[in-house]
Amino acid sequence: MSKILLLNGSPKAHGCTAAALSEMMNVFAEEGVETELIQVGSKNIRGCVACGFCSKNGRCVVNDLVNEVAPKFEAADGLVVGSPVYYGSPNSTLLSFLDRLFYSTGFSKHMKVGAAVVSCRRGGNTASFDVLNKYFTISGMPVASSTYWNQVHGFTAEDVKKDLEGLQTMRNLARNMAFMIRAIADAKEKYGLPAVERGSFTSFPDGK
C-alpha cells in the first residue's frame, strides 16, 4: 500500500491548514492510500547551524522531531507540506524543520511525490506556495498540482469549510497525487527510475 506523510506547519492542530489537510486525507482514504499526519508548527524546532554533523553521522545533531520524522519520510511515497501564511511566507518553525529534514537526510528523495498546501486569510499565498515547492524541486521530487493553486482561504477552520473552491482544489490535488504515486510505481517496475547525474558541482573559487 502506498503511504503519504502529511506535515501540518500550523501551531493550531485544528485550524485552517488542518482543515485543508483533512480534506485531502479523506480522499486518500477513498483511494486506498495510507496516511500519517505529523504536527510540526507547535514544536520547538531550531534552525540548521551548518555544523556538518549530519554528513558524517546520517542524522541531525539536534535530536528532535526532525530525526523522528526522517525514517518516516524515507519510507513514504509522497509528502504533503501544509502551512499558514505569516507575513507573506510559510511558518518559520516549519521552514526550520524542512531545512534540517531535507539537508540532514542522505537517502534519495528521487520520484517521491511532493505537494505544498497553504492557508491564508487574504494574501501571501502564492509566495508561500513557491517557497515550499522549492524543497521538492531541488530533491528530484515530482510536484503534484490541482485545478488551482493549492490554497484555502479563511481566518478560522469554519471559514475554510465555506471555501468550496479551495476544498475542491484539495480533493483534486489528493486524487492527482494518488494517481502520480501509482503511475510512478508502475513505471519504476517496468522501466526503472531515471538515472541521476551527480558529478558536476559549479563553483567559482578566486573569482574565476
pLDDT level of residue 1 (50, 70, 90 thresholds): confident
Q: What is the pLDDT of residue 208?
A: 54
Q: What is the pLDDT of residue 147?
A: 97
> Tell me: the pLDDT tens digits for 61-100?
999 999 999 999 999 999 999 999 999 999 999 999 999 9
pLDDT level of residue 6 (50, 70, 90 thresholds): very high
Within 10 angstroms of residue 43's Cβ, the number of other Cβ atoms is 15
What are the structural domain ranges in the chain? 3-207
As a whole number of Å, the CA-based R_g of the chain is: 17
Strand, helix or coil at 96? helix
The CATH H-level (homologous superfamily) assignment of domain 3-207 is Flavodoxin domain (3.40.50.360)
> Tell me: the pLDDT tens digits for 177-191?
999 999 999 999 999
pLDDT level of residue 207 (50, 70, 90 thresholds): low
Name the pTM for this structure: 0.95
* Terminal Cα-to-Cα distance of the chain (whole angstroms): 51
